[in-house]
């Protein structure tokens, strides 16, 4: 992923760069204080036919050429660039969205607001890389990115993904998920808040390995996109011989709620 950041003030630019680096650990990030230099950079990319800028984070109030003018010029060069404005002022929101911006983030910009903005990108980013994700459901549930185990900061974040994988693309409501992974507790505002933290943590974890595209989120529900991941259970259900041979009677063994699906897989083999 190729990311551009433009802000004419040094400290806000450094802060924004660090924040973006924390979210997109594998991205190529280029930052400028002068809008004219950013414009020259993007023009050169187009002329040399290198990879275009995927996302541009632009401050609005800048000297010489403001962010709105810069955005228009950038879109003239590369129409599929995703523009996200960053500003300390709210009065430009209408102008920003009139230019079909993907986001309007108030400073200081947080990692959470950046990740949330990714749900509203107008132009998908290199969706083929999501195929890097391999999921193991036979035995214990495990997730791999480029064959390296994916680390989750919370065990329930991993459990959340496991449940979505088991549902094979079915859209799961927030209440349904809460009832499953907190099976002995009644839904409350506290649990809803914990769930929101889990969703943020999951999106952040996937974002860091370039796999955010396996997850789809709508108001009040979540799902995975099965065609963007490699999964032994999915291959098993398609009668793939290798997957069938790998199944030894255990499915997501660490989760009690997976027992019914395990019984279903055993029934298929009979």
Q: Would you place residue 269 in the very low, low, confident or very high pLDDT band (cuts 50, 70, 90)?
A: confident
* Pairs from 89-92 (Cβ < 8 Å, separation ≥ 24): 89/60, 89/61, 92/60, 92/68
Q: What is the mean pLDDT of residues 228-257?
A: 94
User: What is the dihedral sign for C-alpha 102, 103, 109, 114?
Assistant: negative
Q: Residue 26 gets which letter from DSSP? A: T
Q: pLDDT at residue 196 above 90?
A: yes
Closest to 15 measured CA to CA, from 111, 143, 152? 111
Q: Would you place residue 80 in the very low, low, confident or very high pLDDT band (cuts 50, 70, 90)?
A: confident
Q: Which single residue is written with the structure tokens 């806000």?
A: 12
Q: What is the mean pLDDT of residues 199-225?
A: 89
Coil, strand, or helix at residue 85? strand
Structure tokens at 202: 């999951």
Q: For 131-269, CATH number?
A: 1.10.10.10
Q: Does domain 2-125 have CATH number 1.10.1040.10?
A: no
Question: Where in the chain are all domains bearing CATH 3.40.50.2300?
Answer: 2-125
Is 44:21 a contact under the CB 8 Å cutoff? no
Pick the residue with more confidence: 130 or 105? Answer: 105
Q: Would you place residue 162 in the very low, low, confident or very high pLDDT band (cuts 50, 70, 90)?
A: very high
């Amino acid at each position: 992923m190729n990311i551009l950041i433009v802000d004419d003030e040094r400290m806000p630019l450094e802060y924004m760069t660090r924040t973006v680096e924390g979210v997109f650990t594998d991205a190529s990030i280029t930052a400028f204080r002068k809008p004219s230099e950013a414009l020259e950079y993007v023009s050169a990319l187009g002329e040399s036919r290198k990879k275009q800028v995927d996302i541009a984070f632009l401050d609005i109030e800048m000297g010489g050429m403001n962010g709105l003018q810069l955005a228009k010029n950038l879109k003239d060069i590369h129409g599929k660039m995703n523009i996200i404005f960053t500003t300390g002022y709210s009065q430009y929101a209408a102008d920003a969205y009139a230019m079909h911006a993907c986001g309007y983030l108030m400073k200081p910009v947080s990692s959470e607001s950046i990740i949330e903005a990714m749900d509203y990108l107008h132009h998908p980013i290199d969706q083929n890389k999501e195929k890097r994700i391999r999921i193991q459901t036979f035995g214990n549930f495990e997730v791999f990115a480029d064959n390296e185990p994916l680390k989750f900061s919370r065990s329930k974040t991993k459990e959340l993904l496991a449940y979505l994988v088991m549902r094979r693309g079915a859209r799961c409501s927030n209440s349904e998920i809460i009832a499953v992974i907190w099976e002995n507790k009644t839904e409350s505002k506290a649990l809803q808040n914990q769930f929101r933290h889990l969703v943020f943590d999951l999106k952040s974890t996937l974002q860091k390995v370039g796999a955010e595209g396996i997850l789809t989120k709508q108001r009040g529900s979540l799902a995975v996109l099965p065609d963007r991941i490699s999964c032994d259970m999915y291959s098993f259900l398609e009668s793939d011989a290798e997957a069938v041979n790998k199944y030894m009677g255990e499915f997501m063994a660490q989760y009690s709620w997976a027992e019914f699906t395990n019984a279903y897989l055993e029934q298929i083999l009979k």
